[in-house]
Amino acid sequence: MLDPIQARKQILKSCRRVVLKVGTRLLADQSAIARLVTQIHALRESGRQVILVSSGAVGMGMRAAGLKRRPRHLSEVQALAAMGQATLMSMYEAECRKYGFRAAQLLLTADDLRSRERHLNAANCIEALLAHDVLPIVNENDPVSVSELKFGDNDTLAALLGSMIRADLTIILTTVNGLLDKNPDGTLGDRISVVHGVTGALKEIATGTDDAAFSIGGMASKLNAAELLNSAGEALWIASGEDADIIARIFAAEDVGTVFLPQDGMHKMGSRKRWLASFSRPAGIIAVDDGAANALVRKGSSLLPSGAVSISGTFKRGDVVRIVRATTGEVLAKGITNFSSDEAARIARHKSGDLTAILGCDAEDELVHRNNLVLL
């Protein structure tokens, strides 16, 4: 296993595209934004592309409205976000112009990334902005977001963006210098330098350590972000944004913050499978027997109709379904089905050679092909 410095150097050696997330508490005023943009400019000057995920719209709106306490009603928070977003972007634009480049705003909801078409549109938009040397600044579309459309927090949004645009590194700047270990007496201990795969023990460390210093997301949400990115073969780096030179120190491979590396190395997942794993919303469930489950997990096989035990939900050909082990309910995979739910129910437990006779038309041999399937 690499030592902390070597692990950092390995990530940075081929790092050309970076997603940078900055929390509300680090964006107190124009001077804070100026310091951040100065660091971003230096990173861009080194030949790297930067996509910024910026919180702060509601806070800016509260200042504009003269409020000291965040409202409790959703509509009022949404109104503040709408007010603050304009102020926030004007500040970013002013600072970016000082260095000769422009900023552009993208406001997203979770549905924008779940829909395959809108997902690709968002990715293509970011690619076009980067090609024109523009800094994309992304935030959740708070004025229209409700619970079922929300990412939950900008840590999650940053991780999803990092996966979607295949960023070489995602950095979350917060108010502490990484993940802290927990002492036997429950107090926080030393900083953990490198994590190879997020484990249940690490999640227990994060539980109960979320306080005001972590704003809305908390350390638990940062571990979820790390898990999401690591599953796609990407790295996450958490560090303190209160250090005015933190980005330069990160790219000098200094032992700052906590780096989260994929447990099985840096094998990167393909774009379609990333969408399936992290963005798609299943329309139904296919329960499979143990033989089919083992073939999926151990051999990387397609799912054949003969292995299907039961079908739940209503879906059509081309929809995403969740595949579970019938005996335990364990979620095994997600995939794009070749059949509707009615057709799947009719051909379940039957051999592929019998499908044409059952359905009365030509049909694929696989219920879900392995090229359209991702293990979870």
Residues 122 and 229 in one domain: yes
CATH of the domain at 352: 2.30.130.10
Residues 154 and 81 in one domain: yes
Residue 89 lies in a domain: yes
Whether the pLDDT of residue 157 is over 60: the answer is: yes
pLDDT tens column, 28-40: 788 999 999 999 9
- Of 207, 239, 272, which residue sits at a domain end? 272
Banded pLDDT at 258 (limits 50, 70, 90): very high
Share of the chain above pLDDT 70, in %: 93
Residues 242 and 289 in one domain: no
Residue 118 lies in a domain: yes
Q: Pick from 172-186, 207-221, 311-325 the range whose average pLDDT is largest.
A: 311-325
Residues 315 and 191 in one domain: no
The stretch 149-176 carries a mean pLDDT of: 86
Which of the pair, 188 or 347, is modelled with greater confidence? 347
**Dihedral of the alpha carbons of 333, 339, 340, 346, in degrees to the nearest 10:** -100
Banded pLDDT at 233 (limits 50, 70, 90): confident
How far apart are the C-alpha atoms of 20 and 141, rounded to whole Å? 18
- Of 222, 242, 272, which residue sits at a domain end? 272
Do 236 and 170 form a contact (C-beta atoms < 8 A)?
A: yes
Q: What is the pLDDT of residue 207?
A: 54
Share of the chain above pLDDT 90, in %: 55
Residue 277 lies in a domain: no
**Dihedral of the alpha carbons of 323, 328, 329, 331, in degrees to the nearest 10:** -50
Q: What is the pLDDT of residue 206?
A: 67
Q: What is the pLDDT of residue 114?
A: 82
CATH of the domain at 71: 3.40.1160.10
Whether the pLDDT of residue 210 is over 90: the answer is: no
Whether the pLDDT of residue 215 is over 60: the answer is: no
Residues 32 and 84 in one domain: yes
Q: What is the pLDDT of residue 299?
A: 93
- Of 235, 252, 272, which residue sits at a domain end? 272
Measured CA to CA in angstroms, residue 135 lies from 58, 100, 126, 167, 282 at distances of 21, 11, 9, 14, 33
Of the listed ranges 191-195, 198-202, 329-333, the least confidently predicted one is: 198-202
pLDDT tens column, 91-102: 999 999 999 999
Residues 199 and 314 in one domain: no
Whether the pLDDT of residue 187 is over 80: the answer is: no
Residues 346 and 213 in one domain: no
Residues 167 and 144 in one domain: yes
Residues 224 and 129 in one domain: yes
Residue 308 lies in a domain: yes
Tell me the whole-structure pTM to 2 decimals.
0.81
Residues 141 and 220 in one domain: yes
Q: What is the pLDDT of residue 74?
A: 82
Do 62 and 84 form a contact (C-beta atoms < 8 A)?
A: yes
The stretch 323-345 carries a mean pLDDT of: 96
Whether the pLDDT of residue 297 is over 50: the answer is: yes
Whether the pLDDT of residue 110 is over 90: the answer is: no
Which of the pair, 1 or 120, is modelled with greater confidence? 120
The boundaries of the domain holding residue 100 are 4-272
Q: What is the pLDDT of residue 219?
A: 80
Residues 22 and 136 in one domain: yes
Q: What is the pLDDT of residue 58?
A: 86
DSSP lists the bridge partners of residue 135 as 103
Residue 174 lies in a domain: yes
Whether the pLDDT of residue 277 is over 90: the answer is: no
How many structural domains does the chain have? 2
Residue 148 lies in a domain: yes
Residues 198 and 263 in one domain: yes
